[in-house]
Amino acid sequence: MGTLCLIIVLAPLVGALLAGLFGRQIGRAGAHWVTSGAVGLSFLLSALVFWRIVVGDAPTYNENLYTWLSTGGIDFHVGFLVDELSATMMVVVTFVSWMVHIYTIGYMHEDPGYQRFFSYISLFTFSMLMLVMSNNFLQLFFGWEAVGLVSYLLIGFWFTRDTAIYANLKAFLVNRVGDFGFLLGIACVLMYFGSLDYQSVFAAAPAHADTTISIIDGHEWSLLTVICLLLFVGAMGKSAQWPLHVWLPDSMEGPTPISALIHAATMVTAGIFMVARMSPLFEMSTTALSVVLIIGAITAFFMGLLGLVQNDIKRVVAYSTLSQLGYMTVALGASAYAAAIFHLFTHAFFKALLFLAAGSVIIGMHHEQDMRKMGGLKRYMPVTYWTSLIGSLALIGFPGFAGFFSKDAIIEAVHLSHIPGSGIAYAAVLSGVFVTALYSFRLVFLVFHGEERMDHHTKEHLHESPKVVTVPLIALAVPSVLAGALFVGAMLFGDYFGGSIVVSAEHDVLGELGHHYHGVFGMITHGLLQPPFWLAMGGVFAAWYCYMKRPDIPRRAAESMSLVYRILLDKYGFDRFNDWFFAGGARSAGRALWRGGDVALIDGLIVNGSARAIGWWAGIIRHVQSGYLYHYAFAMILGLLLLLGLFVHGVIA
Amino acid sequence: MSADFPLLSLTIWLPIIGGLWVIFAGSRVHDGAVRNDALLISVATFLVSLLLWQGFDNGTADMQFVERLAWIPAFGIEYYVGADGIALPLILLTTFITPLVVLAGWVVIKDRLSLYMGSFLLLEGMMIGVFSALDAILFYVFWEAMLIPMFLIIGIWGGPRRVYATIKFFLYTFMGSVLMLVALLYIYFQGGSFAIPAMHDVTLTLTEQQWIFIAFLLAFGVKIPMWPVHTWLPDAHVEAPTGGSVVLAAIMLKLGGYGFLRFSLPIAPDASMSFDWLMIALSLIAVVYIGFVALVQQDMKKLIAYSSISHMGFVTLGFFIAFQVAAGSGSWDAAATGIEGGMIQMISHGFISGAMFLCVGVMYDRVHSREIADYGGVANTMPVFAAFMMLFAMANAGLPGTSGFVGEFLVILTAFKANVWYAVLAAMTLILGAAYTLWMYKRVIFGAIGNNAVAQLADVDAREKLILAVLAATVLLFGIWPAPLFDMMHASVEQLVSHIAQSKLP
């Protein structure tokens, strides 16, 4: 198992190094063969590991690889923990990554940075695997930051575009704000647990149930609440939860395969994974769960609304991703960790599919991303159309499709939850279903149906994308349909996760839900009678009515509710506020401290001032040394008289 | 090699004598020979220092490679050198950086080449001397002598305001070191020996310790430098030639940190404890205040100089949280982590700041400007260079996997044990460090080609590539596997910690 894990992790790294350092020597074909080959190998071996751990009941693998360093009696290790949770993540990461590698061959084939691109995405796969396979907080943070680095590099892949290099800096800094909390959380764990290894921390957690920590004098807070909230700040950055969500829509400046791989399927779910991994800690703090629940609900509902007013095809999918990440977070807050991971799992397939399909449309449209200039593409791009439709149905939770099982489970779990805030969260996720269906089918209708609004030249060149593009679409469409039905029984209600996820008895909503679960078909037929289904259908119908039947309605609605519309277009004003307050404020503070502190006060007043003072003093003293003998003689007489006077009066003996 | 072979002396004197030889013989030979000689001497010194590492026993805190000869017997002044786990990493850093500095000035320096190369070799030997001196007067002599070659380097090959910068540099550091001499003499009169290990055992009252501590603080605080005595550094860096900046940032600043460990903490532990609030406050001001100041710099060298001050804040923070950590956790183990974190921060900063200044130098050699506004889109014409600089920029921002992460991480972890708010303020560097480094990178390297000068840039040549690759490998190696450095330090740091845990009050 150890060797297997090592190969899984190192193969993409080797691929990345070969393509990155020797890109010119191995050529374009060499680069894509070596990287896709390596990631393919990783996927196959991950599947083998998955088989052994999840299906074959092999014991959890938990070994240290080497000691990173040891100091002050604490050893920091690099090592792997492979259990049901990480095995699932490994399969998702390597599979989506492999598909994206293949897709990239077609999508990027004209790009001069071809080898560099492959090097980055393989490096990403390596980093992500290090993150999910870690057995300690330190390595988790390693992977955490490394995926952030690759995300930064890839958003800014087309580094001559001003928007891209603005977006990547923003993404990195916003993530660093999250990491700020995350790192403090890790410091807190180390202080109280004396170790960063998951196993020892989780084992010791119950003993700290009543430990309190005083951060502000006189206020005692529960240690585990503080730890969980700090760690969750990290998750909010990486998984783009409100109010740290601002970087994700802008990250769409990166090439589309990246939006699929990093900013939809894998990296952004790292926060979800992390909280699920920390379930033994979160379970001990209802306060922390409540915060997680509410942040998730805000993200799920309000980010979905933004998707309604976007015209850029990728941005619609991006806001949809934000909203879906909110759903996962809500599930975490409701202690339905398995449902969160299950939604992560199904979402990875259908959201990667939707992004890659959007990319296929963008290729077909000659890099046009504005949906107002599309329409009727169904005729020209049948494979893209059908796979998009499958992805959209999965996304809105149409019964039978993958997203149905995971999303329905989340909604039901929140409904059953008693964590404070679950009422609001239930309302948010339920109304979110309508919003999701509306923006998803708005996209489908605007892009694939109706009037053909593109210009003549584009239309002439419209055709289905090449095989390297469509094959990954089909390969992702399959699990977008099946992954839900195949895994729902085991993942949600069976003993799939074993000991890798811990849920305390009073929070166990999924267990309660399991009593009502009678197989896949039962769940589907039950789903047909539930509000989410009718809300989704309502959304689809509204989309059809507004964008096919009566295209004047959206415009009229925008006019009559212009304030709401403007707020949505302004993305609630977060970007403007952040630019003004944080970016502008930091620069002003820097200038004030520099000009006022360093230049004026320290250098001006103290350093150069004392130099001037010495100069001034010397200028006066200089007059004493006039060179005239009688001045000196006079000074001597004065001095003599002074001494004599002092002597006479007994001041000096 | 026999045990009594004076290996440490060889490391000190090889570059000093070699440097003098280069200076005096250099005027008679052509520049090619000067370069070769300088490189040969610096590489030979590095190899000798590797022998030191190879012969070093990690298991003991005792001074190793000790040489002790009478020098001025009338005052008990000796030629007394040795190295422990605190000195050796810094000696290795010095011998590692110097060949790179020689290479960096290879074709760039045309004026008085032999003096230039010779000055760096002299500087190297004297800095190693400072790190290995175990006699206070010997230490002081090396400490002051070191200023001369640096003064020449900035004064002769520096920029337009070099005179202002050199005088500021000289006065600042000289002011501090004179007070240090007074303090050393005072301890000598109390304890009767100039041997530094003996000074560690001199009993002093709290008032005595406090005066001594302040005198040392001025000397070492200026050197490292700490806020508010830091303003000489940006000026010195801006005016210094690339090689000068590299040595200044990579090695000279560390002399201050070394001084705190070798003198302030063990000689005046009670004063260190009574003043630790001050040291912590100044360190945190350095991290946060200077982080903001770095953000708005227009000159790349100034920006990196401010970034250095901010990073050095972690060094002093790591050292001086020791007392509060020990008081809070009831054990000195965690205090050792803070000190080792500060040490590793010094070593790592040597690689990273050196690399960053070399990167600026690479661009300056081509465009003759350090202004951020004069660049833009360098990645278009210098892709290989852009990749190297990306790595160093990320290391500067403390990315895990690079050496820049290790020290900051350990110091933040330890600071949390002293006081949550120390950790909160220190962790601000995660955001600030990334902001100032990557914003500069964005404006200089990314973007469309900014102007004609950038359009005509040639990518790094083999020599530059070699220098940057060696540093890149080192930054990654110690980021992924820092354990060897820690193994080297453990015994000595533990001994230091147990020493400062004992009150020295009479």
Measure Cα distances from B484 to A70, A134, A137, B16, B85 in Å.
Answer: 10, 23, 22, 29, 11
Q: Do A191 and B448 make contact, defined as CB atoms within 8 angstroms?
A: no
Return the bridge partners of B85, or none.
none
pLDDT at B202 over 50: yes
Question: What's at A520, amino acid-wise?
Answer: V
Give the span between the Cα atoms of A239 and A322, in whole angstroms.
8
Q: How distant, in Å, are the alpha carbons of A302, A398, A417, B40, B398 from that of A431? A: 10, 15, 18, 74, 42
Tell me which chain A residue has its CA closest to the CA of residue B490. A71
The CA distance from B119 to A497, in Å, is 66
Strands annotated E in B359-427: none
Interface test with B, best of A67, A71, A149 (most B CBs within 10 A): A71
Please state, in angstroms and rounded to a whole number, the distance separating the CA atoms of residues A293 and A359. Answer: 33
Banded pLDDT at B389 (limits 50, 70, 90):
very high
SS3 labels along B212-268 = HHHHHHHHHHHHCCCCCCCCHHHHHHHHCCHHHHHHHHHHHHHHHHHHHHHHHHHHC
B333, B406, B430 member nearest A72 (Cβ)? B333
The residue-averaged pLDDT of B443-457 equals 88
The answer to whether B438 contacts A71, with C-beta atoms less than 8 Å apart, is: no
Model confidence over A536-563: pLDDT tens digits? 888 888 888 888 888 787 778 778 877 8
User: Is B483 close to A67, i.e. CB distance below 8 A?
Assistant: yes
Indicate if the alpha-carbon torsion angle A555, A557, A563, A569 is positive or negative: negative
Q: Whole-angstrom Cα distance, residue B415 to residue B413? A: 6
Name the residue among A12, A90, A95 with its Cα closest to residue A49: A90
pLDDT above 60 for A474: yes
Find the distance separating the first CA and the last CA of chain A, reported in whole Å: 94
Q: Which residue of B has its CA nearest to A72?
A: B333
Residues A293-321: what's their mean pLDDT?
A: 89
Is it the case that residue B341 has pLDDT exceeding 70? yes
Residues of chain B neighbouring A160 (CB-CB closer than 8 A) = 377, 380, 446-449
Determine whether the interchain pair B296/A142 forms a contact, defined as Cβ–Cβ distance below 8 Å.
no
The complex's ipTM? Answer: 0.90
Q: Where are the alpha helices (DSSP H) in A397-421?
A: 402-416
Q: Which residue in the set B340, B415, B445 is minimally distant from A71, CB to CB? A: B340
The token pair at A291 is: 């915060």
pLDDT of residue A653: 56
Mean pLDDT taken over chain B: 90
Residues of B in contact with A69 (CB under 8 A): 406, 482-483, 486
List chain A residues with CB under 8 Å of B423. 184, 187
Per-residue exposure over A147-173, b if at least 16 CB sit within 10 Å of its own CB, e if not = bbbbbbbbbbbbbeeeebbbbbbbbbb
* Mean pLDDT across A225-238: 92
Q: Is residue A113 predicted with pLDDT exceeding 90? A: no
Interchain CB distance below 8 Å, A598 and B446? no
**Binary contact (A594, B297; C-beta < 8 A):** yes
Residue A350 Cα distances to A36, A100, A154, A447, angstroms: 21, 13, 22, 18
| A160 to B448: CB separation less than 8 angstroms, yes or no | yes
Distance from CA of A282 to the nearest CA of B (A): 21
Nearest CA in chain B to A143: B400
What angle in degrees, to the nearest 10, is found between the helix axes of A531-544 and A519-528? 60
- Token pair of B151 as six digits: 């003064």
**Structure-token pair, residue A171:** 């993404």
Environment class of residue A466 by beta-carbon count within 10 Å: exposed (0-12), middle (13-18) or buried (19+)?
middle
Q: Do B340 and A66 touch (CB under 8 A)?
A: no
| Cβ distance of A602 and B448 shorter than 8 Å | no
User: Average pLDDT for residues B58-63, to the nearest whole number?
Assistant: 88
> Are A162 and B447 inside 8 Å of each other by CB?
yes
What does R_g of chain A's alpha carbons equal in angstroms? 31
The C-alpha atoms of residue B148 and residue A619 are separated, in whole angstroms, by 29
B198 contacts B191 by C-beta, under 8 angstroms: yes
Query: CB within 8 A of A516, min separation 6: which ones?
Result: A526
**Residue B435: its H or E element:** helix B420-444
Residue pair A438/A446 in contact (Cβ under 8 Å)? The answer is no
> SS3 breakdown of chain A: % helix, strand, coil, rounded to 5?
75, 5, 20
Are β-strands A74-82 and B64-72 bridged in parallel, bridged antiparallel, or unpaired? Answer: unpaired
Element (H, E) at B273: helix B269-274
CA distance B78 to chain A (A): 35
Cα separation, B355 vs B396, in Å, equals: 10
Of the listed ranges A5-9, A93-97, B167-171, B237-241, the one predicted with least confidence: B167-171
Q: What is the pLDDT at residue A57? A: 78
User: What is the pLDDT at residue B24?
Assistant: 87
Cα–Cα distance measured from residue A231 to residue A561, given in angstroms and rounded to the nearest whole number: 39
Rounded Cα–Cα distance for residues B340 and B344 (Å): 6
pLDDT > 70: percent of chain A: 100
CB atoms within 10 A of CB B262: 27
Render pLDDT for B272-287 as a digit per residue (tens, 0 to 9): 999 999 999 999 998 9
pLDDT at B473 over 80: yes
pLDDT of residue A374: 84
CA distance A349 to chain B (A): 30
- Residue among A70, A145, A152 whose CB faces B486 most closely: A70
Alpha-carbon gap: B106 to the closest alpha carbon of chain A (Å): 26
- State residue B3's pLDDT score: 58
Q: Which residues of A touch B406 (CB under 8 A)?
A: 69
Q: How far apart are CA B70 and CA B82, in angstroms?
A: 15
Chain A residues inside the 8 Å CB shell of B390: 153
State the pLDDT at residue A652.
Answer: 64
* Residues in chain B, total: 506
- Residue B371, φ and ψ in degrees, nearest 5: -70, 130
Arithmetic mean of pLDDT, A41-45: 93
Rounded to the nearest angstrom, the gap between the alpha carbon of residue B159 and the centroid of all alpha carbons in its chain is 22
Longest CA span, chain A: 120
- Find the mean pLDDT for residues A314-330: 90
Residue B1, pLDDT above cutoff 50: no
Rounded CA gap, A495 and A615, in Å? 84
CA nearest A368: which of A455, A308, A302, A254? A455
Rounded Cα distance, B406 and A141, in Å = 12
**How far apart are the CA of A71 and the nearest CA of chain B, in angstroms?**
6
Which of A80-84, A433-437, A466-470, A618-622 is predicted least confidently?
A: A618-622
Pick the residue from chain B with its C-alpha nearest to A589. B292
Residue A372, Cβ density class (10 Å: 0-12 exposed, 13-18 middle, ≥19 buried): exposed
Cα–Cα distance, B208 to A209 (Å, whole number) = 48
Q: Are strands B77-83 and B64-72 parallel, antiparallel or unpaired?
A: antiparallel
Residues near A498 by beta carbon (within 8 Å), at least 6 away in sequence = A60, A83, A84
Task: Please report the number of interchain residue pairs, chain A to chain B, with beta-carbon separation below 8 angstroms.
Answer: 134
Please write the tens of the pLDDT for every residue from A177-225: 999 999 999 999 998 888 889 989 999 888 888 888 877 777 888 889 9
Provide, as residue numbers in chain A, all residues whose Cβ is less than 8 Å from the Cβ of B435: 173, 176, 586
Q: What is the pLDDT of residue A120?
A: 92
Beta bridge partners of A221: A213
Beta carbons within 8 Å of A615's beta carbon, 6+ residues apart = none
Residue B471 pLDDT: 94
| pLDDT tens digits for range B217-244 | 999 998 888 888 888 888 888 888 999 9
